[in-house]
């Protein structure tokens, strides 16, 4: 008789955003005339930039002719995209990252979940709390997290690094030594950032402890302050301790197109084994590559026209962030984020849990956000709103929230 993977059965409930979707669908069915504004999931709403559309059309036309047709992509990704990323995202910023250290994929979510496969099962992970659920859930699936404490909503073998108002919503170096450290800056869900000097402390710590940092840089395009690093490889020593995840979803609107990358320097070695080689073996075995059409669209992100158009798009979303931030402050809420990130993190009214506040906003204002407790125990009492809606809907949503404040 076949058996299932028991580790999957340890996962509590459904994925956070699936739960939200079900609750919203049930409310909409019961209240079909209500106009719901969604500021919950981090999905973009603006159309792809013209430079990207032109690249897609051109690539599609190439696929129509035998002379320019492309089949399976190279394992690591096409050279033209990896070289564009290496130059624009790293070398132009003074970072020593080469094109052959970049692995192209169909998105950072898959990579952030799959990267744990190249590590031993007895590695101990450390995560920020609150945290993007994928980091923890995929380690649960791998049998790496121990026993779940339903009351505390924590796993016995996970090191939690609380990111609270007292810590500036940034983690402090853990007292217990981890093997794998997950960091995401600008942060999802809190919108917080750390300076280059603060990130250097983490790099120094990881190198000293023999740990690896998995650094999620999905939101780096939204950084506006000069002392906030755009990549962990701005820090000295990061090549020997850090893997970086890159996404085209938030900087270029590729949530429905799907494209991302993982950067693994060849200097990152465990005993005599290069993690680059392990990921290359995993990538080649389990993945057939992002489509040529999509990778050509990714290359257009780095064109002069693409850069200019996407700068405007990021500014559009950050204008929304300012509307949310200022509007909530005017309504009397304690808020953070929204400066270097498209997320605003607010304290729920006293005596109200984050899920109670979710229901309150949905029923009273017909606005959807994300309960902070869905990101971890330190997220309880907080709530996330995203700036990825249309400007008009963002203004309407904040006006509704003000009326019920």
Residue 365 shares a structural domain with residue 237: no
Residue 137 shares a structural domain with residue 25: no
Residue 181 shares a structural domain with residue 329: no
pLDDT of residue 19: 87
The DSSP element (H or E) to which 371 belongs, if any, is strand 370-371
Has residue 379 been placed in a domain?
yes
* Mean pLDDT, range 382-399, rounded to an integer: 97
58 band by pLDDT with thresholds 50, 70 and 90: very high
The tally of domains found in the chain comes to 2
Phi, psi of 97 (to 5 degrees): -125, 130
- CATH, residue 270: 3.40.640.10
Residue 34 shares a structural domain with residue 67: no
- CATH, residue 389: 3.90.1150.10
CB 19 within 8 A of CB 133: no
Has residue 288 been placed in a domain?
yes
pLDDT tens, residue by residue, 231-258: 999 999 999 999 999 999 999 999 999 9
Q: Quote the percentage of the chain above a pLDDT of 70.
A: 100
Residues with Cβ < 8 Å from 249, sequence gap 6 or more?
44, 107, 108, 218, 255, 258, 259, 260
* Axis-axis angle for helices 50-62, 292-300 (nearest 10): 150
Asked whether the bond before 186 is cis by omega within 30 degrees of 0, the reply is yes
Has residue 64 been placed in a domain?
yes
Q: Which of these three, 252, 278, 303, is where a domain ends?
A: 303
* Mean pLDDT, range 76-93, rounded to an integer: 98
pLDDT of residue 75: 87
Has residue 1 been placed in a domain?
no
pLDDT of residue 405: 84
The whole domain housing 172 covers 53-303
Task: Say whether pLDDT at 12 is over 90.
Answer: no
Q: Which of these three, 284, 303, 322, is where a domain ends?
A: 303
263 band by pLDDT with thresholds 50, 70 and 90: very high
Does 59 or 15 have the greater pLDDT score? 59
Residue 156 shares a structural domain with residue 78: yes
Considering only CA atoms, give the Rg of the chain.
21
Q: CA-CA distance, 202 to 352, in Å (whole number)?
A: 35
Task: Say whether pLDDT at 42 is over 90.
Answer: no
Q: Which of these three, 303, 320, 355, is where a domain ends?
A: 303
pLDDT tens, residue by residue, 123-136: 999 999 999 999 99
CB 141 within 8 A of CB 11: yes
Residue 297 shares a structural domain with residue 321: no
pLDDT tens, residue by residue, 191-225: 999 999 999 999 999 999 999 999 999 999 999 99
395 band by pLDDT with thresholds 50, 70 and 90: very high
Number of Cα atoms under 13 Å in the Cβ half of residue 2: 2
pLDDT of residue 13: 76
Residue 243 shares a structural domain with residue 364: no
The DSSP element (H or E) to which 23 belongs, if any, is helix 16-30
Residue 215 shares a structural domain with residue 191: yes
pLDDT of residue 277: 98
Residue 42 shares a structural domain with residue 57: no
* Mean pLDDT, range 306-321, rounded to an integer: 98
Has residue 365 been placed in a domain?
yes
Residue 37 shares a structural domain with residue 85: no
């Amino acid at each position: 008789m076949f058996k299932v993977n028991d580790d999957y059965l340890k996962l509590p409930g459904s994925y956070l955003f699936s739960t939200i979707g079900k609750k919203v669908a049930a409310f909409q069915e019961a209240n079909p005339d209500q106009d719901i504004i969604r500021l919950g999931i981090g999905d973009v709403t603006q159309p792809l930039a013209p430079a990207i559309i032109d690249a897609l059309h051109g690539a599609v036309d190439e696929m129509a002719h035998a002379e320019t047709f492309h089949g399976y992509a190279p394992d690591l990704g096409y050279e033209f995209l990896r070289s564009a990323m290496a130059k624009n995202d790293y070398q132009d910023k003074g970072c020593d990252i080469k094109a052959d250290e970049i692995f192209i994929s169909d998105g950072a979510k898959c990579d952030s979940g799959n990267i744990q496969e190249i590590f031993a099962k007895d590695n101990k992970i450390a995560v920020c709390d609150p945290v993007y659920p994928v980091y923890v859930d995929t380690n649960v699936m791998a049998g790496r997290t121990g026993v779940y404490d339903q009351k505390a909503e924590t796993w016995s073998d996970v090191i939690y690094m609380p990111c609270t108002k007292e810590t500036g919503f940034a983690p402090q170096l853990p007292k217990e030594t981890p093997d794998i450290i997950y960091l995401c800056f600008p942060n999802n869900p809190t919108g917080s950032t750390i300076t280059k000097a603060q990130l250097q402390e983490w790099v120094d710590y990881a190198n000293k402890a023999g740990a690896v940092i998995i650094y999620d840089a999905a939101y780096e395009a939204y950084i506006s302050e000069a002392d906030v690093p755009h990549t962990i490889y701005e820090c000295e020593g990061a090549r020997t301790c850090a893997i970086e995840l890159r996404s085209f979803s938030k900087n270029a609107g590729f949530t429905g197109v799907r494209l991302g990358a993982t950067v693994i320097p060849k200097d990152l070695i465990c005993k005599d084994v290069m993690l680059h080689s392990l990921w290359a073996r995993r990538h080649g075995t389990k993945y057939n590559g992002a489509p040529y059409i999509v990778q050509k669209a990714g290359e257009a992100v780095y064109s002069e026209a693409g850069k200019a158009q996407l700068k405007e798009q990021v500014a559009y979303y950050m204008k929304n962030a300012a509307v949310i931030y200022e509007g909530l402050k005017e309504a009397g809420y304690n808020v953070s984020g929204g400066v270097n990130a498209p997320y605003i993190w607010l304290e729920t009214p006293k005596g109200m849990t984050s899920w109670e506040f979710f229901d309150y906003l949905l029923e009273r204002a017909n606005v959807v956000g994300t309960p902070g407790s869905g990101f971890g125990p330190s997220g309880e009492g907080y709530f996330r709103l995203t700036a990825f809606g249309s400007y008009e809907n963002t203004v309407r949503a904040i006006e509704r929230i003000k009326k019920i404040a």
